[in-house]
Structure 1
């Protein structure tokens, strides 16, 4: 399939480039985070509560990660366009750079897709039919780096029709298969539902089918999203989601081994401008995970206020609290980070690049509540300090 897709892309690219009156555009996108630090005088180690799906990231990312992508658009005389993109990533452990003496990085293709935009008039004028591997309408919480809805197919391929304008919103449908070809997911979503002034809703549903050597069961997921813009000088997003069996992970690849499992989650997050200089990112999360009779409840709440001193410098404070309750035990992690960042002439919460100096302190309920026990041993708290560079474009 990969060879066929490569051939198709090459052929259509040549056709588009040589077509009369065709206009070519391209854009570049990228992301990089990399840093050095020490935890308790040893290797840089992230603090994440066992049973929590993510962590509060400021001063708490011991990995390096980078992406680089190129997107292209060939616009024809009739206004339709051939679109597509390629993106690769590199990832690894920051400690490889300064401690271990070995550089072991993972390199992978994250996107390779092709589409045709502008299928007709009316509802189809801005719609796109596409095929390949791509980042597909992802939703995330920045300060935890949590993609709480992620129908991007990392290992397999997919295709669909997106952004059909029905007046009251836009309809998108897609189908995905994972790399093992043992899970197939169908997704549909109705976006941009206007519910009031600066209030927008979205409804999504998915069905995941297991085949071949998959040990799990078919499942479905329902997602409800709400976004309020121009609130406290920023925005707020809220979601209520429920999925079971193969669809319980809210992802395109599906969970081929999920059997008698359901996940219900609610989240809210947003960004507020308190004053001209002070901005506040906030999030709250609750998730119920029912897995073959093993019940896990995970709750999380966090804030990151930022004070913009001037166009080159800001101060950041991140406070996060995670709590996991299982049938057998209760675990809690509180994490605090203070960072001073140089912003290279830009100002604001989203200003990048940033070079940060940080110190992080975490405390947890009991020994073993967080991972990386070779560093923390039987301790119930730890401190990390270091430098991190982050940028995107």
Structure 2
């Protein structure tokens, strides 16, 4: 952490020096969700199936979470730019907000990086060379808050060259290390490959080298992605991904525990389409197989969140999600169905992506057996549960 902060301070000094030629511009970025609720009359407990990597988030987030950052840009006389940013996050348990007692919050540095944009002519005219810690080309599914590809480095250091024009696509290469340098991950990808009208592709390859003192082995990950714009007036994204060894999981920090006998295969499709002038629907379906030397855990998930705009200030959303896990190690299957209805005040900004939103919600869950979910203790020996609450969410 000290090394990152020192580097950030030096970088800011560089920006200040460059300001003698041009004024440095700043822009803020941030996100906040905060709310309270209760499950079956007790503390707010999220409904998540054991073996599922995430859950359907509407009316199902028992934390408060914020991100706050500053981006910096310094345009130089030669047309290039010095760019960079710093971002922190703050998180904690929302149950601390509804009972007397101490609020336990976690503050962590998420981004501290500097780059030089426009490093040359031709293919390099729009490219950036960068170093530090940053969110790097993350891919997420909004309604389950799932980053299904995330080569960001939250605990270590990274560097790369991005957006080199190849004619048929944009090449980016980067290297990441976790805090203790147990895994070095080398990532390359070609984005924005035009495949047809409003259809674009991306291919990626990563190789992870693990320290010899760790139990894992070197490994690789391959990914293919498609994006269709103007899909019935919205968008659709699909991906097929495979990883093994220390590249297991598609993370920038790597997996120092994973040998070549450990693999993860993931397929997903998601998108947002307008069904009418006032009705929009987000949808997702995914399937992944975690194979540990022949013993597999398969997770399947499917869900929708339609949102109906009543007027400029009010909307209603319904979210229904289903998760299913086939766990060979435990010789069992389990499932969870979760449904939420939420009344939304939109502060005069209607639309699925518009924020801020203030929501009042009721969530109902049903699972296959006692112990199938991670927070079973909050529901005694029941296999159903209800959560009610209120939440505020915004980004900027």
TM-score category of the 2 structures, normalised to the smaller one: over 0.9
Q: Deviations over 1:243-291 (max 9, x none)?
A: 0011111010001111221000100000000111000000000001101
Residues in 1 aligned to 2:43 and 2:173: alpha-carbon distance in whole angstroms: 45
Q: Deviations over 1:302-331 (max 9, x none)?
A: 000010011111000000000000110000
Is the 8 Å Cα contact of residues 193 and 200 (structure 1) preserved in structure 2? yes
TM-score (norm: length of structure 2): 0.97
Shift of 1:2: 2.8
**Alignment partner for residue 387 of structure 2, among 368, 378, 384?**
384
1:51 and 2:14 are equivalent in the alignment: no
Residues in 2 aligned to 1:10 and 1:207: alpha-carbon distance in whole angstroms: 32
| Structure 1 ranges of 4+ moved more than 6 A | none
Is the 8 Å Cα contact of residues 303 and 319 (structure 1) preserved in structure 2? yes
Shift of 1:17: 1.1
1:245 and 2:248 are equivalent in the alignment: no
Which residue is 1:341 aligned to? Answer: 344
TM alignment of 1:168-317, pairs within 5 A: 168-259=168-259, 260-317=261-318
Which residue is 1:89 aligned to? Answer: 89
Residues in 1 aligned to 2:149 and 2:157: alpha-carbon distance in whole angstroms: 18
Residues in 2 aligned to 1:347 and 1:168: alpha-carbon distance in whole angstroms: 38
Residues in 1 aligned to 2:6 and 2:373: alpha-carbon distance in whole angstroms: 46
Q: Deviations over 1:177-209 (max 9, x none)?
A: 001211100000000000000000000110011
Is the 8 Å Cα contact of residues 283 and 301 (structure 1) preserved in structure 2? yes
* Consecutive unaligned residues in structure 1, runs of 5 or more: none
TM-score (norm: length of structure 1): 0.98
1:324 and 2:346 are equivalent in the alignment: no
CA RMSD of aligned residues (A): 1.0
Is the 8 Å Cα contact of residues 221 and 248 (structure 1) preserved in structure 2? yes
Which residue is 2:4 aligned to? Answer: 2
Residues in 2 aligned to 1:165 and 1:92: alpha-carbon distance in whole angstroms: 42
Is the 8 Å Cα contact of residues 243 and 263 (structure 1) preserved in structure 2? yes
Residues in 2 aligned to 1:49 and 1:236: alpha-carbon distance in whole angstroms: 26
* Consecutive unaligned residues in structure 2, runs of 5 or more: none
Q: Deviations over 1:206-243 (max 9, x none)?
A: 00111053211111000000000001110000000000
Residues in 2 aligned to 1:386 and 1:358: alpha-carbon distance in whole angstroms: 6
Worse-superposed segment, 289-298 or 124-133 = 289-298
Shift of 1:377: 2.2
Which residue is 1:361 aligned to? Answer: 364
Which residue is 2:161 aligned to? Answer: 161
Residues in 2 aligned to 1:23 and 1:197: alpha-carbon distance in whole angstroms: 41
Is the 8 Å Cα contact of residues 36 and 98 (structure 1) preserved in structure 2? yes
